[in-house]
């Protein structure tokens, strides 16, 4: 039977600090300040049986099967119509229940001015081990890391050993690379982990302004080690988040590309500071969009591959499409770094752009 639904509501788990939910992409959560699809709340790392886990999931699925849509999923771009596998299993786990970090980026949604960060949270390993033993998660599951800086999270090494290095899961990790992790290095080498590092600069001075720690040199050093192991260039991407008045200039971007070459990374992601875009209600100046296009063209000339995310939403004409694209881009910004959807959005968005 074909019906409109989403893989994450059927087969996704997202561990927040206080709740267990289906995903972290819900427009109801991200835009309206409501809740994502909740599976268990409050949740503090209790063990989960297949029955209790899928009771709520099945309630959501039943709504979709009747042609409806829970309010938590309204307007979400993840929805698609197809035949769904209703077997109770989980193929995507997101861990975002910790927030501690050894940087303090000015664009971070957890930054110190707004919230207290913590690593003092429940243990996720026993929960994942139990899901594995019950056959709820199987080999090939995607493990997406969110929250704070994973390399300083208390269960990082054990998680990488048991889930990435064992070949059980593919792990997608945003890291600032300030702390070198031998386990992460091995996981990259084995093709079991992909990392994305927002360097946002090509100089110590600009790096420090953005990340608010003096760590440019050590990050470059660590990235060189990670990159030297890369069995395939897709395992590592460097990101340049354009932050108006700080790094929105061609000179800094050129230095960034030089640094990427020095490190040995060929994948570049260019994005716009989401906090800035939200403050302006996404009415970003077209000169900024043109600048990013120039960055992209220049990167291609230098032999880099690029992905370009959120700023394209500014060029769209209709508010509905714009809103929808915004959700997609927010998703990509946070968690889908290696998803080809980014390229599709880019291609579709380009068609709608005004000429610079």
**Shortest spacing between CB 89 and ligand SF4, in angstroms:** 16
Question: What residues contact 252, with CB distance under 8 A and at least 6 apart?
Answer: 201, 202, 203, 206
Tell me the pairing of strands 20-21 and 12-15. antiparallel
Closest to ligand SF4 by CB, 149 vs 252, is 149
- d(C-alpha 312, C-alpha 331), whole Å: 14
Compute φ and ψ for 147, nearest 5 degrees. Answer: 70, -130
* Interface size with ligand SF4, residues (CB under 6 A): 22
Task: Tell me which residues in 22-51 interact with ligand SF4 (CB under 6 A).
Answer: 22-23, 25-26, 37
**Considering only 18-26, 255-263, 268-276, 285-293, which stretch makes contact with ligand SF4 by CB under 6 A?**
18-26
Task: Tell me how far apart the alpha carbons of residues 127 and 122 are, in angstroms, rounded to a whole number.
Answer: 10
Pick the binder of ligand SF4 from 30, 176, 306, 308 (CB under 6 A). Answer: 176
Strand order in the sheet with 305-308: 38-40, 20-21, 12-15, 90-95, 137-145, 169-174, 193-198, 236-242, 267-272, 305-308
Helix 341-351, helix 319-334: angle, nearest 10: 150
CB 124 → ligand SF4: shortest distance, Å? 17
Is residue 72 close enough to count as binding ligand SF4 by CB under 6 A?
Answer: yes
User: Which of 150, 151, 148 lies closest to 108, judged by CA?
Assistant: 148
Site string for ligand SF4, 111-150 (x = CB under 6 A): -------------------------------------xx-
At 52, list the tokens: 């209790």
Provide the minimum distance between the beta carbon of 219 and ligand SF4 in the complex, in angstroms, as a whole number: 10
- Residue 139 DSSP code: E
Q: Which residue, 111 or 353, has its beta carbon nearer to ligand SF4?
A: 111
Question: Which segment (5-13, 119-127, 131-139, 262-270) binds ligand SF4 by CB under 6 A?
Answer: 5-13
From candidates 73, 136, 177, 223, binder to ligand SF4 by CB under 6 A: 73
- If one asks whether residue 329 binds ligand SF4 (CB under 6 A), the answer comes out as no
Q: Is 151 in the site for ligand SF4 (CB under 6 A)?
A: no
The structure tokens listed for 317 are: 């004409």
What is the closest distance, in whole angstroms, from the C-beta atom of residue 63 to ligand SF4 in the complex? 11
Give the dihedral of Cα atoms 186, 191, 194, 197; nearest 10 deg.
Answer: 50
Location of structure tokens 């946002």: 200
Site string for ligand SF4, 78-117 (x = CB under 6 A): xx---------------------x-xxx--x-x-------
Of 4-12, 42-50, 161-169, 335-343, the segment contacting ligand SF4 by CB under 6 A is 4-12
**Bridge partners, 80 (sequence order):** 5
**Stretch binding ligand SF4 (CB under 6 A), from 3-11, 261-269, 271-279, 304-312:** 3-11
Angle at 148 between CA 146 and CA 152, to 5 degrees: 115
Q: Which residues bind ligand SF4 (CB under 6 A)?
A: 6, 8-9, 22-23, 25-26, 37, 72-73, 76, 78-79, 101, 103-105, 108, 110, 148-149, 176
């Amino acid at each position: 039977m074909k019906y409109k639904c989403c893989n994450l509501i059927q087969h996704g788990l997202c561990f927040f600090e206080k709740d267990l939910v289906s995903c972290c992409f819900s427009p109801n959560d991200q835009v309206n300040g409501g809740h994502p699809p909740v599976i268990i709340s409050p949740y503090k790392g209790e063990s989960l049986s297949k029955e209790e886990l899928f009771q709520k999931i099945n309630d959501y699925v039943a709504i979709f099967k009747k042609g409806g849509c829970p309010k938590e999923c309204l307007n979400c771009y993840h929805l698609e119509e197809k035949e769904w596998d209703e077997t109770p299993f989980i193929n995507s786990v997101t861990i975002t229940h910790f927030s501690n970090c050894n940087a303090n980026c000015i664009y971070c949604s957890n930054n110190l001015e707004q919230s207290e960060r913590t690593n003092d949270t429940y243990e996720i390993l026993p929960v994942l081990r139990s899901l594995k033993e019950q056959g709820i998660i199987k080999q090939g599951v995607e493990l997406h890391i969110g929250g704070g800086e994973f390399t300083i999270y208390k269960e990082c090494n054990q998680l990488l050993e048991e889930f990435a290095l064992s070949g059980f899961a593919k792990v997608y990790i945003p890291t600032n690379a300030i702390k070198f992790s031998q386990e992460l290095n091995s996981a990259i080498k084995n093709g079991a982990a992909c990392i994305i590092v927002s360097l946002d600069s090509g100089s110590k001075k600009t790096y420090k302004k953005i990340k608010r720690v003096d760590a440019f040199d050590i990050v470059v050093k660590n990235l060189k080690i990670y990159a030297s192991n890369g069995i395939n260039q897709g395992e590592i991407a460097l990101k340049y988040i354009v932050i108006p008045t700080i790094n929105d200039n061609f000179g800094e971007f050129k230095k960034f590309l030089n640094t990427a070459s020095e490190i040995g990374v060929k994948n570049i992601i260019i994005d716009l500071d989401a906090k800035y875009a939200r403050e302006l209600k996404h009415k970003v100046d077209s000169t900024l969009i043109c600048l990013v296009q120039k960055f992209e063209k220049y990167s291609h000339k230098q032999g880099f591959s690029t992905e370009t995310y959120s700023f394209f939403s500014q060029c769209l004409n209709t508010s509905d499409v714009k809103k929808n694209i915004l959700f997609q881009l927010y998703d990509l910004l946070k968690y889908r770094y290696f998803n080809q959807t980014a390229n599709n959005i880019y291609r579709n968005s380009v068609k709608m752009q005004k000429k610079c």
